[in-house]
Chain A
């Protein structure tokens, strides 16, 4: 009955792993050829694949796992999706309802273990609940602020039979959607922004989730307001647009941080305003007279920054409502935009080209040339993530995926696999450090088994680079447990998994290796041995304000 219900919800792909408590579902899987099942090598891989799938195509990713360890292995993946508001359905097997609470074999309180990392969860102990629960779960996962929903189904329920009739209409009294835009607030916000002397707009993941990029651009151009994005909002505004401030936050661009810190009106759209965006909260945007916050989740209002004007609404609807009320921008706007241009020239992104080592930026700049504005790039977590974000150069949205809120190492490879399943027509590049890569490297088997064109750009610096950088700069220069010289030979590792690979340690070899990756059908890995001392810049020292960012040292 589970499988029929999934078909009814339009599911085509499931990432999963069978085990004792979900075998009744797997028994019937061959009877449902429309449901393609991808056998992962670890349940965490399944969760990240479903996550990457959902981020790439917008449909909820679906995961199967068995009880106990199987379900617990999903927890990191659920948390990753939850923090970044990604729609996902996790269906876990549970011991028989008569066994619950008796510490049966592979029994874990999965609802208890996952309730803090899911939008909602259900324990199904009776077959008659199942059609309603599955229908509700998809509704909750995909509407409002999306998120993962877990359905824990007792084994005896999986084996039971009952009329499989979904409810005719959804009745979830405790689930309310914030659909309506408060027009008074929208008008006030539009006027406040247009009449500001020094307005700044910051756009987060919510803009991408509501497909509000066109509205954001129209709004920004009409208001002559510069726009920055959060790490997860990358792609919400064209980076090459004259009004672009690129990425904000404690590793954001210098001209973005200058703009935020000097703004008099700051409008934050579809974002949580977390500590990585604000750095030291008390010193965040200290000159702002009017904070405007737009988010579909009302609990974000005042959670970190108390807005003067709040709009609890979908970003697209809110921006649409605001645009007609935008007056002519304030006359002094040209001065402000010229100032931002000056900051852009004063604080450009830069790196050391020529110290004899291969620089990660050299690799990424070459990769992005090949992306031609239309490949999906999935980054892992750490220095590789920020480098990939800062050197991003697209005008199109929705093609840069990473674990922003949760910062889950090991995300990139399985998420890239999921993204390739979702968008087989697009090239998919996976950018990872060697530390995160080995956390989920077993999923290479999946890429090989399905001959997925996922090109893996390993930025190998023989250490936990971001942690090493923090230790060097903020923890007394004590390098403690960050040395990763004892790692597999990644070319041989790739060969062992059955995919071709190359090693590159010279600038001149980047192009030929990338050519080979592009020419090759199926997965390909390049082990780029980069400068072990390469750092991420700009960076705001821990505990400091956005004003205090450090830039890359001059060559």
Chain B
């Protein structure tokens, strides 16, 4: 019997959960930011759809960081925008697993793409003088002697800054939506 052929050493080995081709250092972030995927889904309008989507995300060890749902252009179909932490899985697993659901008609991974990403915040503040907020684009929804309710829309960091600023105005309550995201047209 002959000796086994020489065995070359070929690092790095691809058996560890790995990045899809083209993405660099996919899992370096301690905060998990690198694991976040922004996905735009077209789903069936049915009573079971949300639970099927969220159940799958939980089961695969992913985590929903933000969600928004509303009707789409097509009757019977809804648009769902998800920001999902892919956990210990290869990041592309989130899209692939969602595609397996029959209720999910279409999945587009918009992470890192050129997009319009908009979030909405509604806040009630104690202060009466809100001119600086209004200058930034906030809109007054309601005023009363006890406080003022404003709304503001922007991308994630604009909304984040806005919410920071609200603190100076004696913020009483804040509600914030998940982002809705659309590809920028060329």
Residues of chain B within 8 A of A278, CB atoms compared: 15
Whether B5 contacts A306 by the Cβ 8 Å rule is no
Is the pair A299, B97 in contact by a Cβ cutoff of 8 Å?
Answer: yes
CB distance from A209 to the nearest CB of B (A): 17
User: Which of A119, A299, A304 gathers the greatest number of chain B CB atoms within 10 Å?
Assistant: A299
Give the Cβ gap from A109 to chain B, nearest Cβ, in Å.
Answer: 9
Task: Assess the B104–A282 pair: CB atoms within 8 A.
Answer: no
**CB proximity of A137 to chain B, nearest CB, Å:** 10
User: Would B5 and A173 count as touching, CB distance under 8 A?
Assistant: no
Whether the pair A302, B93 counts as a contact (CB closer than 8 A) is yes
Supply 14 further A-B pairs (C-beta < 8 A) apart from A174-B103, A174-B104: A115-B51, A119-B102, A121-B48, A123-B47, A175-B102, A198-B5, A262-B7, A284-B15, A287-B8, A297-B100, A302-B18, A303-B93, A306-B18, A339-B4
Tell me the chain B residues, 76-125 only, with Cβ under 8 Å from chain A.
89-90, 92-93, 96-97, 99-105
Interface residues of A in 263-286 (CB under 8 A from B): 264, 278, 281-282, 284-286
Q: Could you give 14 example pairs across A and B, Cβ below 8 Å?
A: A111-B48, A115-B52, A116-B56, A116-B59, A121-B48, A174-B105, A287-B10, A299-B97, A303-B96, A306-B15, A332-B5, A336-B5, A339-B2, A341-B1
With a cutoff of 8 Å between Cβ atoms, the chain B residues found around residue A307 in the complex are: 14
B93 contacts across to A, CB distance below 8 A: 299, 302-303
Using A173-B105, A302-B18, A306-B14 as known contacts, say yes or no to A115 and B100 having CB atoms under 8 A apart: no
A140 to chain B, nearest CB (A): 7
**Are the C-beta atoms of A289 and B10 separated by less than 8 Å?**
yes
In the assembly, what is the distance between CA of A278 and CA of B104, in Å?
Answer: 31
Residues of B within 8 A of A264 (CB): 8
Provide the residues of chain A in CB contact with B97, threshold 8 Å.
299
Contact with B along A103-138 (1 / 0, CB 8 A): 000000001100110011101000000000000000
Please tell me if A342 contacts chain B, counting CB pairs below 8 Å.
yes
B interface list, Cβ under 8 A from A: 1-5, 7-10, 13-18, 20, 43-44, 47-48, 51-52, 55-56, 59, 89-90, 92-93, 96-97, 99-105
Q: Is A291 an interface residue (CB 8 A)?
A: yes
Is A298 interfacial (CB 8 A cutoff)?
yes
Given contacts A339-B4, A342-B1, contact A116 B96 (CB under 8 A): no
What are the residues of chain A within 8 A of B104 when measuring CB–CB? 174
**Contact A305 to B14, CB < 8 A, known contacts A123-B47, A298-B96:** yes
Residues of A within 8 A of B18 (CB): 302, 306
- Knowing A116-B55, A338-B2, say if A289 contacts B15 (CB, 8 Å): no
* Given A175-B102, A338-B1, residue A303 in contact with residue B48 (CB < 8 A): no
Q: How far is the CA of A304 from the CA of B90 in the complex (A)?
A: 9
Tell me, in angstroms, the Cα distance from A122 to B1 when the chains sit together.
60
- Say yes or no for A28: interface residue by CB 8 A criterion: no
CB <8 Å contact, B20 and A302: yes
Contact in complex: B99, A282 (CB < 8 Å):
no
Across the interface, name the chain B residue whose C-beta is closest to A298.
B96
Cα distance, A351 to B139, chains bound together (Å)? 81
User: Of A120, A288, A299, which one neighbours B102 at CB under 8 angstroms?
Assistant: A120
* Contact in complex: A287, B1 (CB < 8 Å): no
A100 to chain B, nearest CB (A): 10
- With known contacts A140-B102, A278-B15, A289-B10, A303–B90 Cβ distance under 8 A: yes
How far is A112 from B59 in the complex, measured between Cα atoms in Å? 13
Q: Which residues of B contact A286 (CB under 8 A)?
A: 13
Nearest CB in chain B: distance from A266 CB, A: 10
Residues of chain B contacted by A314 (CB below 8 angstroms)? none
**Is B16's CB under 8 angstroms from A281's CB?**
yes
Is B5 a contact of A335 with CB atoms below 8 Å?
A: yes
CA distance A18 to B92 in the complex (A): 44
Q: Which residues of A contact B100 (CB under 8 A)?
A: 297, 299
**Cβ of A308 under 8 Å from chain B:** yes
Residues of A contacting B1 with CB < 8 Å?
338-339, 341-342
How distant is the Cα of A341 from the Cα of B2 in the complex, in angstroms?
Answer: 10
B14 touches A291 (CB 8 A): yes
User: In the complex, what's the smallest C-beta–C-beta distance from B37 to chain A, in angstroms?
Assistant: 14
A213 contacts chain B at the CB level, 8 A cutoff: no
By a CB distance below 8 angstroms, the chain B residues around A297 are 100
Q: Check B7 against A302 for contact (C-beta < 8 Å).
A: no
Partner of B99, one of A112, A289, A298: A298
6 nearest CB pairs, A to B? A299-B96, A306-B18, A342-B1, A174-B105, A306-B14, A120-B102
Does B15 contact A197, Cβ atoms closer than 8 Å?
A: no
Within 8 A of B (CB), among A289-316: 289, 291, 297-299, 301-308
B38, chain A: closest CB distance, angstroms: 19
Q: Kindly identify, within residues 71 to 129 of chain A, every residue whose CB is under 8 Å from any CB belonging to chain B.
A: 111-112, 115-116, 119-121, 123
> Which of chain B's residues have a CB closer than 8 A to the CB of A301?
96
Identity of the chain B residue whose Cβ is nearest the Cβ of A197 in the assembled complex: B5
Alpha-carbon distance A301/B95, docked complex (angstroms) = 12
Q: Which residues from chain B contact A111 at a C-beta distance below 8 Å? A: 48, 51
- Identify which of B4, B59, B89, B103 contacts A303 (C-beta below 8 A): B89
What residue in chain A is nearest B9 (Cβ atoms)? A287
A residues less than 8 Å from B17 (CB atoms)? 302, 304, 306
Task: Give the distance to chain B from A107, nearest Cβ to Cβ, in Å.
Answer: 16
Give Cα A140–Cα B9 distance, bound, in whole angstroms. Answer: 44
Task: Tell me the nearest residue of chain A to B107, going by C-beta.
Answer: A174
